[in-house]
Amino acid sequence: MVHASLHPPRSVASPKSWVGTLLGSGAVLLVACGVLYARHLRSSQAVARATAAMSAAAARGDPVLRVPHAPGAITLDGDTDDPGWVRPPGPARTGDFVLENGQNARPYSNTRIVWSDGYLYLSLYAADEDIENHADQPDSPLLKEDAFHVVFSQPGVEYAIDVSPTGVLTDAIRRDGGAWDFSWSSGAHASKEIDGTINNPNNTDEEWAIEMAVPFESLGMKGERGETIGLSLSRCDTPKGASRVCAGWGEGFGGHGRGRILLE
């Protein structure tokens, strides 16, 4: 006579084993849910802070730009004919830079902005009949030359990036309104496009433009939708036979305070 085994086959788990497996799976699921909830909470809080900052800027009458994610690739070569610039919905635009009194400035300047892959991309355009640029080393003083002055701001900290027609970068950081620290590097990359002859006042130039990529990491940002940061832009120029003029978008121009951008 063949006697059946008193023990379950090894391929069949005992009730205790099933219970342990279920409890273990439940614990993993709870941990996963907790992580997702924490991320959602942080994201919700970030969106709430961004919304409050944007609302406050709008209430003060300060300029606000909603910056779209680039809809295609961008090659940093000075041109802005890449898919990331030209495909819909198109970049955020400052429009004409204005003087302190709010009037449109001449020579004309503007800025366009998109973001993608860890970088904020800025297209800085300047009409210029006499392009002047003598600085050729990083962190050279650009205050008296043709240049764009870009200032980002977070609570308690400011990041400044100056860029010349030839793409020379001078960047600095300051905290709590203290002295500027020029040892800081933004890690930004800039490419130029020039229509004219630099440092030759005997002819008439046309324009110059800078295509610049600024790493979000250097600005204390993650590069995610819903993030916001303060931004002001300016450009100074000395037209032929005229005095030096400065115009911009944001703080100090058109009676506005510092501008603000929101990543969408």
pLDDT, tens digit, 9 for 90 and up, residues 173-186:
999 999 999 999 99
Hey, what are 202's tokens? 């005997």
Distance between CA atoms of residues 166 and 136, nearest Å: 8
pTM of the model: 0.80
Q: H or E segment at 172? A: strand 169-175
User: pLDDT at residue 194 above 70?
Assistant: yes
Please report which confidence band the pLDDT of residue 2 belongs to, taking 50, 70 and 90 as the band edges: very low
Average pLDDT over residues 129-148: 86
pLDDT averaged over every residue in the chain:
85
As a whole number of Å, the end-to-end CA separation of the chain is: 78
Domain 64-263 in this protein, CATH class? mainly beta
pLDDT at 43 over 70: no
Spatial CB neighbours of 76, under 8 Å, sequence gap ≥ 6: 189, 190, 191, 211, 213
How many residues are listed for the chain in this entry?
A: 264
**Looking at residue 138, what is its pLDDT?**
84
Paired sense of beta strands 169-175 and 189-195, if any: unpaired
* φ and ψ of 152, to 5 deg: -100, 150
Percent of the chain with pLDDT over 90: 62
Q: How confident is the model at residue 240 (pLDDT cuts 50, 70, 90)?
A: confident
Q: Exposed, middle or buried by CB within 10 Å (0-12, 13-18, 19+), for 189?
A: middle
pLDDT surpasses 70 at 100: yes
Q: How far is the CA of 71 from the CAs of 15, 40, 74, 94, 133, in angstroms?
A: 55, 25, 9, 19, 34
**Per-domain boundaries in the chain:** 15-60, 64-263
Tell me the pLDDT band of 257, cut-offs 50, 70 and 90: confident
pLDDT at residue 252, rounded to an integer: 84
CA dihedral 153, 158, 164, 169 (to 10 degrees): -120
| CB 167, CB 191: distance < 8 Å | yes
Which band of pLDDT confidence, cut at 50, 70 and 90, is reported for residue 238? confident
Which residue in this structure is represented by tokens 């799976």? 25
The rounded radius of gyration (Å) of the Cα atoms in the chain is 27
3's CB contacts (< 8 A; 6+ apart) are: none
